[in-house]
Amino acid sequence: MDMAALTFLALGLPFLAALVAPVLARLLGHNAAWLLALAPAGVFAHFLRFVPDVGNGEVVTGGYAWIPSFNVSFSWLIDGLSLTFLLLISGIGALIVLYSGGYLKGHPHQGRFFSFILMFMGSMQGLVASDSFLMLFVFWELTSITSFLLIGFDHDREAARRAALQALVVTGGGGLLLLAGLLILWNVSGITQFSLLLSFGAELKQSPFYLAALLLVLGGAFTKSAQFPFHFWLPNAMEAPTPVSAYLHSATMVKAGVYLLMRLNPVLGGTPEWQVILPLFGAATLMAGALLAVRQTDLKLMLAYTTMSSLGLLVMLTGLGLPHAIEAATLYLVAHALFKGALFMVAGIIDHEAGIRDLTRLGGLRSAMPLTFAIALAAALSMGGLPPFFGFVAKEEIYAALSSFELRSAVFAAVAILGNALMFAVAFAIALKPFLGPKVNTPKHPHEGPVLLWLGPAVLALTGLSAALMSGLTHRIVSSPMASAITGKPTPVEISLVPHIGMPLLLSGITVAAGVAFYLNLARLRGAMATILADIGWGPDRGFDQFMRGLVHSAVAVTRRLQSGRLDVYMTVTFLLVAFVLLAIPLHYGEFPRAPFFAADVPVHELAIMAIAVAGLLAMMIAPDRLTAIVSLGIQGFAVAMIFLLYGAPDLSFTQFMIETLSVVVLALVMTRLRLSPSDHRPWREKVPDFALALACGTGFALLLLRVTGVPFDSSLTAFFNEYSKTIAHGANVVNVIIVDFRGTDTLGEITVVMIAGLSILGLVRLRAGALKRAAAAEVVVQEEDLEERV
Amino acid sequence: MRSVIFRTVAPFLTGLMMLFSVFVLLRGHNEPGGGFIGGLIAVSALAIYGIAHGVQTVRRAIYFHPMTIAGAGLFAASIAGIVSLAAGVPFMTGLWIYPSLLGVEVPLSTVMLFDTGVYLVVVGAISSIALSLEERGGE
């Protein structure tokens, strides 16, 4: 197989694995993880083969036409940026599958969980590999949907369901904004693929639609990457099982927004708007996340809020537009994926083995879980930005970007120092507090987890260490290609573990000092934050509930208004509209018919039939009770059927006879069901408007018919059917041939409608509650059906 | 309505009308008639029977639930269209065969199957409505 087919296979492999996962889990139990992890591992191996080429600055594109008529393709773009993401997603994905095997061991729906998480993995891969806009959008929404399934995995719990729905609404809604933004980009540039868009140049930034496109794209990116004030869904998503939090809500999905910003940086970035909006929102998210993290005592929630602040930091760095900022974002993104994934899994191990994950009720686990302690410590050292871990390298680069002596960079440097120091404190709180100190009694007897549990975090922590020790190699294969892809020009990354005396090291030192101080005063900080938050009271999370409530209320109000549930209102509105269309439109265009032409020699029998029709109508109007009125209406119908017969339309006439008969029967039956009084006792002031409306509709139809018959008759269709009905369709009855052959598909649709109408009426009749009202609705359907068939 | 004369005549009338409805259905392709009209005639026949002898008698007489009949009709009509696909021509293209039965050439076609489907849908759906309305009407 060639490389393109293999890449296609690699992008589809997680979905295939998701299909077989439930069966494998049933056969092998939790050990199915070993087999299932082969899928992401295979994907990882496949994409590893791109490393040499992409490292040399090559961009690999490929794909297949998907909907050629709309210029939509299934195509991928593999450059430094997407390759790094692909390696992170598949590599961490393999570890997460193993971890889920241990974490959900014995869970009755473990197979379903494997299936969901592999589907998510496939979606996330597709997202970052997408070259075409629409493919990116499809996978973007797929990640939202799979994330919904994963957060709501414990669907028995109300909180999980709410969190799942919240994440879906926020990120799915953002996805729609993104779609609008991408469509604007498409319209302005005429390009549907990122690889071509990147070479489109600066025209986009001068387009009058630039700001609109930017804001829409940011709407998508900020909701996905949990930027303030859309951050609230991320901590709530911690309702998901821990493997999900480790994978989706730290290493991969929440980075999709950052990915998008990085992907579009060469095309949309560098403008004043970009350099104001991104750093502002990023900085706000960084601070809010760090402060909220300090407030928490739940391990997962602390990690969730620090994830939020890390995302803020990444957005801020992406938007700064300073030298070294993009390089710093690159390094921090990779470092964060490694240490945060590991820490989440550690939190999961503690929760799994000790039965609790509240920081204040844990302690002294170091002797029971030495390996977990070591992993936690390694990850926390990286998160705190201490050598010799990759987090240190990343942080040095961040401060290198922020250490120029001007006001803007100084302000953001201060924000970064404060945020990093708080994250430092949280990192060590998680890595030290549960393990050190006196032993605290926990719900479960704590011991070291099985290999499936510790393998993932251990590999991630070791990777964080070796990536820093071999920083030259890391930069050559990951950091430099990725930074070059984001900036759109060759951007080598050179920073290493060797400390170089200067501003960045000084800022690092300040951060560590402040972090230690925060760590020592964590309890006091937590209390202070709790007081402040209680004083504020309202937050976006509650705002979301209010929004949803308002949405439901307004939907109910609108529906009540439009769907009153009263049949007479519906009918009045319908016929008012009919009268309006029939009368107002000819009036507007001056299309009324000329005075009708009466033939001089109408045969006596025709006059007699018409007289019967008119007599039937008059009888209906003066009928003393309803049943007489219905039967009188039938007289008129039969008279019309006679006229059809006289003018050579036996089929139509036949049908009219039968419909009239059945209408009388059905209407009479409905009448008895409705238990109406035998006659209409309404006062005149209620009858007159109905009468006027009926008159208007009748006049309108009469005028329309006169106008239509006044136009010269186009007989080409008649000629066609007469000529071909026998030769092509083997039938002499043209009407029937049209119904069952020439326009057979129409008829198929019509009988389907008849069937559905019959079913609905049956259902309505069977409903006991409110039976009276519902039978009235049935009557309308029957009449509509009659009208349709008559036509 | 339940006069002795009516109740005595109704079964014969219904039988004749049912027969006539099938006749109208089958001759539809060349003479006035067809599935739709035939179906309506059959419903009228059932309605007469129902008025004379009550809904339960009709339900017993037609054996299947009316909606089952309608469903079978829709199924037959769809099959008539799909058969053409299997023969490699576009959906709903009429196909004809002329087998010889007892020395008489009988034209059979997917079109006829389709028209029969229309007939069954009309019979089933409309009689289902009429019967259910009549059933509860007296409550």
Amino acid, res. A703: L
A418 vs A397: CA distance, rounded Å: 16
Residue among B40, B70, B77 minimizing CB distance to A658: B40
Under a CB-based contact definition with an 8 Å cutoff, are residues B71 and A690 in contact?
A: no
B134 with A669: Cβ contact below 8 A: yes
pLDDT tens sequence across A471-510: 888 888 888 888 888 888 888 888 877 767 788 888 888 8
Where does residue A81 rank: exposed (0-12), middle (13-18), buried (19+ CB within 10 A)?
buried
A758 with B128: Cβ contact below 8 A: yes
Residue among B33, B91, B133 minimizing CB distance to A673: B133
pLDDT tens sequence across B82-119: 888 888 888 878 888 887 777 777 778 888 899 999 99
> Mutate which of A669, A730, A779 to disrupt the B interface (most B C-beta within 10 Å)?
A669
Residues of A in contact with B125 (CB under 8 A): 754-755, 757-759
Nearest CA in chain B to A729: B94
Where does residue A454 rank: exposed (0-12), middle (13-18), buried (19+ CB within 10 A)?
buried
- Chain A with chain B: Cβ pairs closer than 8 A: 149
Mean pLDDT for the stretch of residues B63-67: 91
Separation in Å, CA of A781 to nearest CA in chain B: 11
Separation in Å, CA of A766 to nearest CA in chain B: 8
A419 vs A60: CA distance, rounded Å: 38
User: Which has more confidence, B136 or A322?
Assistant: A322
At B81 the pLDDT is 87
Residue among A658, A732, A771 minimizing CB distance to B44: A658
Helix (H) or strand (E) holding B18: helix B4-27
At B139 the pLDDT is 42
A268 vs A261: CA distance, rounded Å: 9
Residues of A in contact with B81 (CB under 8 A): 744-745, 748
A122 vs A10: CA distance, rounded Å: 9
**Which of A381, A422, A154, A399 lies closest to A287, judged by CA?**
A422
Alpha carbon distances (Å) from B56 to A559, A768, B49: 40, 20, 10
Separation in Å, CA of A709 to nearest CA in chain B: 25
B130 with A669: Cβ contact below 8 A: yes
Residues of A in contact with B124 (CB under 8 A): 755, 758
At A790 the pLDDT is 47
Buried b (16+ CB within 10 A) or exposed e, A244-281: bbbbbbbbbbbbbbbbbbbbbbbbbbbbebbbebbbeb
At B2 the pLDDT is 66
B47 with A650: Cβ contact below 8 A: no
B129 with A733: Cβ contact below 8 A: no
pLDDT tens sequence across A412-457: 888 999 999 999 999 888 888 888 878 887 778 888 888 888 888 8
A345 vs A453: CA distance, rounded Å: 8
**Which of A52, A33, A29, A50 lies closest to A41, judged by CA?**
A33
B81 with A731: Cβ contact below 8 A: no
At B138 the pLDDT is 45
**Which of A209, A105, A237 lies closest to A541, judged by CA?**
A237
Nearest CA in chain B to A786: B126
B132 with A662: Cβ contact below 8 A: no
Cα dihedral A124/A128/A134/A135 (nearest 10): -60
Amino acid, res. A185: L
Dihedrals φ, ψ of A66, to 5°?
-110, -65
Residue among A741, A754, A762 minimizing CB distance to B122: A754
B133 with A778: Cβ contact below 8 A: yes
Q: Which residues contact B113 (CB under 8 A, 6 or more apart)?
A: B76, B77, B79, B80, B83
Residues of B in contact with A650 (CB under 8 A): 32
B37 with A655: Cβ contact below 8 A: yes
B133 with A765: Cβ contact below 8 A: yes
At A467 the pLDDT is 87
Tell me if the pTM is above 0.80. Answer: no
Residues of B in contact with A754 (CB under 8 A): 70, 121-122, 125-126
Residue among A658, A744, A766 minimizing CB distance to B37: A658
Instruction: Tell me A50's DSSP state.
Output: T
Q: How confident is the model at residue B67 (pLDDT cuts 50, 70, 90)?
A: very high
B30 with A745: Cβ contact below 8 A: no
Q: Which residues contact A72 (CB under 8 A, 6 or more apart)?
A: A66, A132, A134, A135, A192
Residues with pLDDT less than 70, chain A: 1, 201, 499, 768-791
ipTM of the complex: 0.90
Residues of A in contact with B126 (CB under 8 A): 662, 754, 758
Separation in Å, CA of B104 to nearest CA in chain A: 18
Residues of A in contact with B37 (CB under 8 A): 651, 654-655, 658
At A776 the pLDDT is 57
Residue among A737, A751, A765 minimizing CB distance to B118: A751
A672 with B137: Cβ contact below 8 A: yes
pLDDT tens sequence across A663-695: 888 888 887 777 777 777 788 888 899 889 999
A511 vs A395: CA distance, rounded Å: 10
Separation in Å, CA of A639 to nearest CA in chain B: 18
Residue among A729, A748, A754 minimizing CB distance to B94: A729
Residues of A in contact with B41 (CB under 8 A): 658
A736 with B41: Cβ contact below 8 A: no
B37 with A731: Cβ contact below 8 A: no
